[in-house]
Structure 1
Amino acid sequence: MTSDSDNGGDGDERSPWLDDADEFDTYPVDDDEPDAEPATGGPRHPLRSVLVAVLIGAVVAGAVLFATGGFSGAGGVGSTEIGESGTVADDLSRSEPGDCLQWTVDPPSEATLVDCAEPHRFEVAGTLDTAAFPSSEFAADAQWPGKERFSSIRDENCPAVVDRYLAGGLDPAGRFGVGLMYPLRSQWERGARVLRCGIEQPGAKGVQEEFSGRVADVDQSIEWAPGTCVGIDQATREPTRAVVNCSEAHAFQTTGVVDLSQRFGARNSGKPWPNVQSQNDYLRKICPTQTNRFFGGADRFAATTLNVQWSTTAEVSWLTGSRRVVCYVGLPYRGGFANLVGDARQDELLINGRVPVPPAKGPPGRSVGTPVPLPPGYNADDREIPAPAG
């Protein structure tokens, strides 16, 4: 089976990042399927997620169709005889809403039911009744619909199934997405007609990530571990949300994760959403310190010429229980992000293809150089180093 998960944003309301109007000050411191301490602060920039539909990695006897918000992903599920109309049922065809399915990717294995407290890759939200579709489409002698048709079925049916299952509790800017599990061509020809809408966590390189616990009971925030590099769209200069190797081009590198529940209330506390200004006031005291620690000292961080930035949580995300945000480093460039290559903690860092050169230090209380005009939404000061032209 393959799956396609719908996870993304199409506007600032759905983005966990500051919008352009927000500013903050600077602080010292069998694959038979062929398609098968103080630090320098800086301005914040929005992360505009791109909603794309991606189908990757049909493996042996299963496929999972994803529509991700910047992440591309799919995982293979091996299976033998599958389908509610087949002669032999398996765990997928026996699964019900609230069940969790797990499989291995390498080597691929069949999907099996597991306790949701254990690591798994798919949480079943509901079954699609094929009788509701044109009879000719799912008849015993019907041709395999194909990925595009399954993608349409997902888009037309699964969001409502998941929304009903979670009572509207899926974070549109979070780490989970809506998916559909459906038969591969070989399974279809053996009579498989099982369709399951569910929830997945899209990951890097076309593999669904494992998660533990039911989605309704966990924090849905995107959690990038410190040191994670997030890709960049070269055309728009905006982050893609895809995790990449730091040796590859990227928009920013994370330096820490902050749990807002410690200041504003846990997910079940009933406390109201803290507005963006309140979050900024709190995070500007934390992210610079976390970033200095990440780099091993303020001087080492200053040598990178990068700026401290951080994400914030939108009200809709707060209401679903998301409480975590990330601190990260990057640079503004032509209305977007500069192109970074290399781990910023190493001497290998390049910014727009150039080695960063820290500005000379002037006498205390005096500016160094002339501030360079920055794109709208950025708050420039003489310690903020714009990205070099590429």
Structure 2
Amino acid sequence: MAGAFVGAFGLLMLSAFTSVLAGGPLSTKRELVNAAYQAVAGECLNWEKPDLSDAQKVDCAAAHKFEVTGTADITGAYPKEAPFPNAEAWEKIAQENCAQASTTYMAGKLDPKGKYGVGTLNPDQNRWSSGYRQLRCGLQVTAPSGAPLPSFGSAKTQDQSAVYDPGVCVSLAGNNTVGDPIECAKPHAFEIVGVVQHAEGPFVALEAQDALMSERCAAIATEYTGGADLKAKNLLVTWDTRAEESWAVGSRKANCKIGAVPQGTNLVAWEGSVRNPNGAPLTTANPPQTTSVRAQDEPTGAPLHSESGKPPSESGKPSDSGQPDKPSSSAPTTTSENR
């Protein structure tokens, strides 16, 4: 099988600060009791309504959208007469009050580039006006748009690697970035074809990871596609790597994926799936990583992402930064695999 492959160009997720406004409207007779205002460190919350008015405490082994790592009272910095914070202010509040709480909760082993981001459950504008100033700090898995993804198990015990299951496609967002999971029939940046589990041990340099992933991902792609000629489809195989700080906290998984040959430094969207319809059933996580997410609802407030401002890595080199790499502009290498 002739298949094109090249080094990693584009990561999947951003470990971000995400802020959500919790609670529905206040009643003049009786305030709705909301679990989001009662949860303590170690408890997990789930909800369906965008205003979190149906938030409930659930067993962390079950699907949930927020794991509480602590609480913070910001009355000192924001007295009763203080105006309701805008998006930038909420991000600053989250960074100042919840980043360290979450790191401490994880005993210092929070992957800064992993699937978990630091989040806050904030009082809505009505509660803010009444003087309520307590936040719930926590960890959550979010898509690049800020839309919450289901999480299973306590973050303390889970692999933090930012990976998706084989068969998941991720969209191409604005500014040459990778977006949320999306149906493969729609335009997308990458189709995930497999997950590589690196062996335990000392950190493997990126160049060595690159060499290992190029070999493993070529073989995985051959099996996934049934030996399809990717070059003829103007597609190529690429992959992710793990940064040293991620490796240090135990993140060892990385995705193999297929994308369109980039145009210069720009990712190119493509449609459809290259999966062999007659192939063996896919091996996915249990519970599986999500294949789609709902759009972020306006009533929860705009998602707040921490932007590092770190430039993409050099062309053709794998990266594990929070931002997608610029794609390699070098000609794809052609290899033959027989399986």
Asked whether the two chains share a fold, i.e. TM above 0.5, the reply is yes
User: Of 79, 84, 87, which residue of structure 2 is paired with 1:138?
Assistant: 79
Distance 1:218 1:47, change over 3 A: same
Matched to 1:121, the amino acid is: K
Shift of 1:203: 2.7
Alpha-carbon distance in 2 for matches of 1:276, 1:242: 26
Aligned to 1:287: 217
Shift of 1:97: 1.6
User: Of 92, 95, 109, which residue of structure 1 is paired with 2:39?
Assistant: 95
Shift of 1:283: 2.8
Q: Structure 2 unaligned runs (5+)? A: 276-314, 318-327
RMSD: 3.4
User: Of 312, 322, 339, which residue of structure 1 is paired with 2:268?
Assistant: 339
Alpha-carbon distance in 2 for matches of 1:252, 1:202: 18
Count of aligned residue pairs for this structure pair = 283
Distance 1:318 1:291, change over 3 A: same
Shift of 1:219: 0.7
Distance 1:77 1:203, change over 3 A: farther
Residue 158 of structure 2 is aligned to residue 218 of structure 1: yes
Residue 203 of structure 2 is aligned to residue 273 of structure 1: yes
Is the partner of 1:299 in helix, strand or coil?
Answer: coil
Alpha-carbon distance in 1 for matches of 2:263, 2:45: 45
Is the partner of 2:93 in helix, strand or coil?
Answer: helix
Distance 1:234 1:195, change over 3 A: closer
Shift of 1:42: 1.9
Distance 1:49 1:223, change over 3 A: closer
Asked whether the 8 Å contact 2:170–2:190 carries over to 1, the reply is yes
Matched to 1:314, the amino acid is: A
Matched to 1:122, the amino acid is: F
Aligned to 1:242: 180
Alpha-carbon distance in 1 for matches of 2:177, 2:168: 13
Residues 74-116 of structure 1: CA distance to partner in whole angstroms, max 9, x if unpaired?
A: 6x7554669xxx9775422322222211112479642222222
User: Of 57, 66, 72, which residue of structure 1 is paired with 2:18?
Assistant: 66
Alpha-carbon distance in 2 for matches of 1:41, 1:300: 8
Distance 1:220 1:250, change over 3 A: same
Alpha-carbon distance in 2 for matches of 1:196, 1:338: 38
Distance 1:89 1:143, change over 3 A: farther
Aligned to 1:154: 94
Q: Structure 1 unaligned runs (5+)? A: 1-28, 30-38, 54-64, 68-73, 266-270, 347-374, 385-390
Residue 193 of structure 2 is aligned to residue 255 of structure 1: yes
Asked whether the 8 Å contact 1:201–1:210 carries over to 2, the reply is yes
Is the partner of 1:258 in helix, strand or coil?
Answer: strand
User: Of 31, 44, 50, which residue of structure 1 is paired with 2:7?
Assistant: 44
Asked whether the 8 Å contact 2:41–2:71 carries over to 1, the reply is yes
Aligned to 1:309: 238
Shift of 1:382: 6.9
Asked whether the 8 Å contact 2:6–2:316 carries over to 1, the reply is no
Identity %, equivalent residues: 29
Shift of 1:242: 2.8
Aligned to 2:57: 113
Residue 114 of structure 2 is aligned to residue 174 of structure 1: yes
TM-score, structure 2 as length reference: 0.70
Is the partner of 1:155 in helix, strand or coil?
Answer: helix
User: Of 297, 311, 321, which residue of structure 1 is paired with 2:250?
Assistant: 321
Shift of 1:289: 2.4
Alpha-carbon distance in 1 for matches of 2:140, 2:203: 26
Distance 1:77 1:293, change over 3 A: farther
Alpha-carbon distance in 1 for matches of 2:25, 2:174: 42
Aligned to 1:125: 69
Is the partner of 2:134 in helix, strand or coil?
Answer: coil
Distance 1:336 1:51, change over 3 A: same
Residues 223-264 of structure 1: CA distance to partner in whole angstroms, max 9, x if unpaired?
A: 2222322233554xx43243234344433221112222xxx1
Shift of 1:49: 8.1
Shift of 1:344: 3.8
Distance 1:272 1:98, change over 3 A: same
